């Protein structure tokens, strides 16, 4: 049997983000096929067969690929709108526009979102898509296709809404599905696109949107569907004080108790935001190993508040980072969330002890992989794991004088990506995407954003 193709990366700093936070000031990573073969200090072992590429990574830091646990790709074509709104007002302002998206728009928006993330070091991303206007085409297929074209791993959280304005919800009635239609379409998406294998490029999760846009029956039956099909569960939770009030008025309990009553706490569940959590809520998440997608930039953009991330971590809650949709985080990049997670949480009661650079990097890598149920195969640099890794250039003007490369990555300016591998395959080299034309993607997203704006305006 022929030796697998090997890529050797050496002469670089290495942050493995393994269980012991092992680091090497001068180390190597060897990739064999789609897996990491070895990681260690100094140069790679001698005598390796079939080395098809050898990278002298002097002046670089290699880390696991970044993992984005919560996004809304379609929002790439509605950036820069309602910039001074809180969540509920922002949703009311934008739902009428989002309700007019179609397959062509969603594909372009997904390409734009994925391209920006990949160029910034993301190798695995979760997209929570919950807007399915009637007659809009195959939106899930468009997202999966965009991820395949870009070369990034995808968890598509197939969302749904069945509580429109006439039922006390926020979205227009024509933008929501019926209970039966949402469940049937979600199951069909799982059957068509979910790959349960350890090296999967596409996985599906069941993801009703939020308590204020989804019926209790959709939450319950959605959880039952996910567990019957063996996939994960995702939704928004405890994002704002308005949501807390809504849950108490409609259900007679807070969001966490409501989620538990509908089967939505467990190690196969992760929630986006979780800003307004009391001690009892955090204990419930820790007890059930329910995960959290922390989205510091979006939380600040929508004035939602500061999530209690240090308390969650201390209690044992799995926490990863999320960009959230680019209508509430226009940059669309996850590496900015490393910095913002650290800075925002230091504004809270734990102050300088809230997070440090290495804990922030862990949130954006191993933490995210744990939240998405993929930590056995990605999220750290260890032999046998998938070769999802990023080589960051740290010897430019922006970073060369920062003593600690991990601190430079987290606290410094956005570091250029010299090489990003997904399953051992290059996705980015020298800051440029390899599988899609960035300029063509930019033109397409601009065209579709303008088209959507015209349609929403009734032109």
Shared domain check, 20 and 148 = no
* Distance separating alpha carbons of residues 456 and 459, to the nearest angstrom: 8
- pLDDT tens figures, 180-233: 999 999 999 999 999 999 999 999 999 999 988 899 999 999 999 999 999 999
Shared domain check, 116 and 21 = no
pLDDT at 283 over 70: yes
* Distance separating alpha carbons of residues 371 and 266, to the nearest angstrom: 11
Average pLDDT score over residue span 322-347: 94
How many domains does one find in the chain?
A: 2
Shared domain check, 93 and 38 = no
Shared domain check, 104 and 205 = yes
Q: Is residue 419 part of a domain?
A: no
Shared domain check, 166 and 95 = yes
- pLDDT tens figures, 36-51: 999 999 999 999 999 9
Shared domain check, 132 and 51 = no
Alpha helices of 211-321 — where are they, by DSSP H?
Answer: 216-229, 241-251, 255-261, 279-288, 296-301, 309-315
Shared domain check, 71 and 32 = no
Q: Which among 371, 402, 434 is the end of a domain? A: 371
Domain with 278 in it: what CATH number? Answer: 3.20.20.140
Query: According to the model, what pLDDT value does residue 172 have?
Result: 79
Query: According to the model, what pLDDT value does residue 165 have?
Result: 83
Q: Which among 312, 344, 371 is the end of a domain? A: 371
Q: Is residue 410 part of a domain?
A: no
Domain with 22 in it: what CATH number? Answer: 2.30.40.10
- pLDDT tens figures, 92-125: 888 889 999 999 999 999 999 999 999 999 999 9
Six-digit token string for 177: 């599905």
Name the nearest CA neighbour of 317 among 351, 354, 287, 358.
Answer: 287
Q: For residues 117 and 127, is the Cβ–Cβ distance under 8 A?
A: no
Q: Is residue 183 part of a domain?
A: yes
Per cent of the chain over pLDDT 70 is 99
Average pLDDT score over residue span 243-260: 92
- How would residue 240 be classed by pLDDT, with cut points 50, 70 and 90? confident
pLDDT at 352 over 90: yes
Query: According to the model, what pLDDT value does residue 1 have?
Result: 61
Q: Is residue 128 part of a domain?
A: yes
Six-digit token string for 200: 């999967």
CA angle 427, 293, 266 (to 5 degrees): 115
Return the percent helix, strand and coil in the chain, to nearest 5: 40, 20, 40
Shared domain check, 28 and 134 = no
Query: According to the model, what pLDDT value does residue 174 have?
Result: 78
Per-residue b or e along 19-29, where b marks 16 or more CB atoms closer than 10 Å to that residue's CB: eeebbbeebbb
Shared domain check, 31 and 163 = no
Shared domain check, 79 and 28 = no
pLDDT at 251 over 80: yes
Q: For residues 319 and 371, is the Cβ–Cβ distance under 8 A?
A: yes
Give CA separation, 313 vs 109, 222, 308, in Å: 33, 28, 9
Domain that holds residue 156: 66-371
Shared domain check, 7 and 94 = no
Q: For residues 164 and 175, is the Cβ–Cβ distance under 8 A?
A: yes
pLDDT at 319 over 80: yes
Query: According to the model, what pLDDT value does residue 459 have?
Result: 65
Residue 102 CA to its chain's centroid (Å): 23
The pTM (predicted TM-score) of the whole model is 0.97
Shared domain check, 189 and 47 = no
Q: Is residue 391 part of a domain?
A: no
Q: Is residue 448 part of a domain?
A: no
Six-digit token string for 302: 């929508």
Q: Which among 62, 77, 103 is the end of a domain? A: 62
Per-residue b or e along 240-257, where b marks 16 or more CB atoms closer than 10 Å to that residue's CB: beebbebbeeeeeebbbb
- pLDDT tens figures, 141-160: 999 999 999 999 999 999 99
Q: Please give the torsion angle defined by the CA atoms of residues 279, 283, 286 and 289, in that order, rounded to the nearest 10 degrees.
A: -120
Six-digit token string for 399: 């970073």
């Amino acid at each position: 049997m022929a030796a697998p193709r090997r890529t050797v990366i050496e002469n670089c700093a290495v942050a493995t983000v393994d269980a012991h936070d092992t680091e090497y000031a001068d180390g190597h990573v060897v990739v064999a096929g789609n897996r990491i073969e070895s990681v260690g200090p100094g140069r790679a072992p001698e005598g390796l067969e079939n080395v098809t590429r050898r990278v002298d990574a002097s002046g670089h830091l290699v880390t696991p690929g970044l993992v984005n646990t919560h996004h809304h790709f379609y929002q790439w074509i509605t950036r820069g709108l309602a910039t001074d709104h809180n969540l509920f007002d922002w949703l009311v302002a934008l739902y009428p526009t989002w309700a007019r998206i179609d397959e062509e728009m969603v594909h372009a928006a997904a390409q734009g979102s994925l391209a920006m993330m990949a160029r910034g070091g993301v190798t695995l991303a979760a997209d929570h898509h919950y807007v399915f206007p009637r007659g809009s085409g195959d939106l899930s297929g468009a997202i999966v296709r965009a991820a395949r074209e870009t070369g990034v791993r995808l968890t598509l959280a197939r969302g749904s809404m069945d509580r429109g304005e006439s039922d006390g919800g926020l979205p227009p009635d024509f933008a929501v599905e019926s209970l039966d239609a949402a469940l049937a379409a979600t199951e069909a998406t799982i059957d068509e696109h979910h790959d349960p294998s350890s090296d999967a490029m596409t996985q599906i999760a069941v993801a009703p949107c939020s308590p204020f846009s989804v019926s209790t029956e959709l939450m319950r039956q959605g959880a039952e569907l996910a567990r019957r099909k063996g996939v994960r569960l995702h939704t928004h939770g405890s994002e704002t004080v308005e949501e807390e009030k809504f849950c108490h008025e409609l259900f007679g309990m807070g969001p966490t108790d409501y989620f538990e009553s509908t089967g939505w706490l467990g190690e196969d569940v992760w929630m986006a935001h979780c800003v307004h959590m009391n001690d009892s809520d955090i204990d419930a998440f820790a007890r059930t190993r329910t995960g959290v997608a922390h989205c510091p930039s979006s939380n600040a953009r929508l004035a939602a508040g500061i999530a209690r991330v240090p308390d969650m971590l201390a209690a044992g809650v799995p926490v990863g980072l999320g960009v959230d949709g680019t209508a509430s985080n226009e940059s669309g990049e996850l590496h900015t969330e490393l910095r913002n997670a650290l800075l925002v949480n230091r504004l809270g009661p734990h102050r300088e002890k809230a997070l440090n650079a290495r804990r922030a990097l862990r949130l954006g890598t191993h933490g995210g992989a744990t939240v998405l149920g993929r930590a056995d195969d990605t999220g750290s640099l260890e032999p046998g794991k998938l070769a999802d890794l990023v080589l960051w250039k740290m010897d430019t003007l922006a970073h060369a004088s920062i003593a600690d490369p991990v601190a430079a990555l987290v606290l410094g300016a956005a570091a250029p990506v010299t090489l990003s591998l997904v399953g051992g395959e290059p996705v980015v080299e020298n800051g440029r995407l390899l599988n899609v034309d960035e300029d063509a993607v930019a033109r397409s997203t601009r065209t579709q954003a303008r088209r959507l704006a015209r349609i929403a305006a009734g032109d």
